Amino acid sequence: MADQHVRFERDGDVGLVVVDSPPLNLWTPELQADLESALDRAESERVRAIVFRAEGRSFTGGVDVNHFDDKTPDEADEIFQGLVRVVHRLEDMPVPSVACVHALCLTWGLEVALGCDLIFASESAKFGLVERVVGLTPAGGGTQRLAERAGPARAREFVMSGALFDAATLERWNVVNRVLPDDQLVDETMKFARELAAGPTLAHAATKRLVRACMDEGARGADARIREIASGLFDTEDLQKAVDSFLSEGPGKATFKGS
C-alpha cells in the first residue's frame, strides 16, 4: 500500500519489520500505528526470528517535530508510551530479534533498535539520540538501554552531548554487535537471522529471559530462576530429539521445530 509506512515481510521463518516512509523515515502517529501492526503480524504468523530494518538513504532522521508542537505533558506521554510499548514487545517476544541499521539512525529508530536482542550496523552508520536540540531527553527507552549496554557514564555522554557516534565506536561500547561493510549488511544480517530461526528457538527464548533476569535481579537472581526458565526445556521435543541426534550422529545434525 502506498500509504503504509512500515510493512511486514516474511522470508521463510524470519519476519521482517521494514520501515519505508521516505524521504527520512520520520516518526509520525501513522508510522507508529503501522509499526505496531507489523509486530502484530510477526506474532500472529509465529515467525522464529525478527529483523528490524529500513529502506532509503537513512535508517531514520528522527521524529517529525511538528508532532511535538503545542503538546501537553499528557499528550507527549502518549507518544512516549507508544514507543516504549514497541520496545517492550520486541524484548518480550519469545524469538530472537536483530536490528539491521544503515546510514543515519536517530532518536526513535535507535530506541526501537535497542529493544532488539542484537544490532548489526553498516560501517557508514551514524547513531544519535539528539533530543537535546529541542530541550528534551530521549523518552522512548533509549537512555536506559544504552546504560544497560554501555554503562551509565557512556549513556550520559551519548545523550547529553547530542553528538553522532559511528558504528565502530558503538561496537567498542558494546551497543552494536557487528559492524559490516555497507554492501554486505542486509545479506549478512539475513544469513544470521535465518540461522537463528532454524535453531532451538525455545532455548533462545530461555536465553532472553535469563539475560533479562540477570539485568533485573543480578546473576544470583537469575540463578534462582534456572528451574523456572531453563529446566523445562527437557520436556520439549526439540531438546529430546537433539540429544538423540547428538548421541547417534554427532553434534550439529539436529533440526529444530520450535516445539
- Kindly report the pTM of this predicted structure: 0.96
Residue 233 and residue 108 in one domain = no
Q: What is the mean pLDDT of residues 232-245?
A: 96
Q: Assess whether pLDDT exceeds 90 at residue 75.
A: yes
Number of domains, the chain:
2
Same domain, 115 and 39: yes
Question: Does residue 218 share a domain with residue 193?
Answer: no
**85 and 171, same domain (yes or no):** yes
As a whole number, mean pLDDT of residues 49-55 equals 98
Instruction: Please indicate, yes or no, if residue 136 is contained in any of the structural domains.
Output: yes
Asked if 124 and 206 sit in the same domain, the reply is no
Find out whether 168 and 125 touch, Cβ atoms under 8 Å: no
| Residues 177, 227 within the same domain | no
pLDDT in the model for residue 3: 79
**259 inside domain:** no
Record the cell numbers describing residue 177, joined without a space.
554487535
> CB atoms < 10 A from the CB of 33, how many?
13
Segments forming the whole domain that contains residue 44:
6-197
**Residue-level pLDDT at 14:** 98
pLDDT at res. 46: 94
CA-atom Rg of the chain in angstroms? 19
Give yes or no: residues 181 and 206 share one domain.
no
Residues above pLDDT 90, as percent of the chain: 98
Let me know if residue 193 belongs to a domain. yes
pLDDT 10s digits, 126-135 = 999 999 999 9
pLDDT reported for residue 2: 54
Is the residue at 46 inside a domain?
yes
Per-residue pLDDT at 8 exceeds 60: yes
Q: Are residues 14 and 54 in the same domain?
A: yes
Measured distance between the N- and C-terminal CA atoms of the chain, rounded to whole angstroms: 35
12 assigned to some structural domain: yes
Q: Tell me if 227 sits within 8 A of 192, measured CB to CB.
A: no
Assess if residue 121 is contained within a domain.
yes
Whether 184 is covered by a domain: the verdict is yes
Residue 1: inside a domain: no
- Calculate mean pLDDT across residues 154-161: 98
On whether both 39 and 166 belong to a single domain, the answer is yes
Q: Do 87 and 212 share a domain, yes or no?
A: no
Could you tell me the CATH number of the domain that includes residue 121? Answer: 3.90.226.10
pLDDT at 135: 96
- Lowest mean pLDDT of 45-49, 65-69, 192-196, 203-207, name the range: 65-69
At residue 1, does pLDDT exceed 60? no
Instruction: Say whether both 73 and 184 belong to one domain.
Output: yes
Average the pLDDT over 25-29 and give the result: 97
Q: Residues 193, 244: one domain? A: no
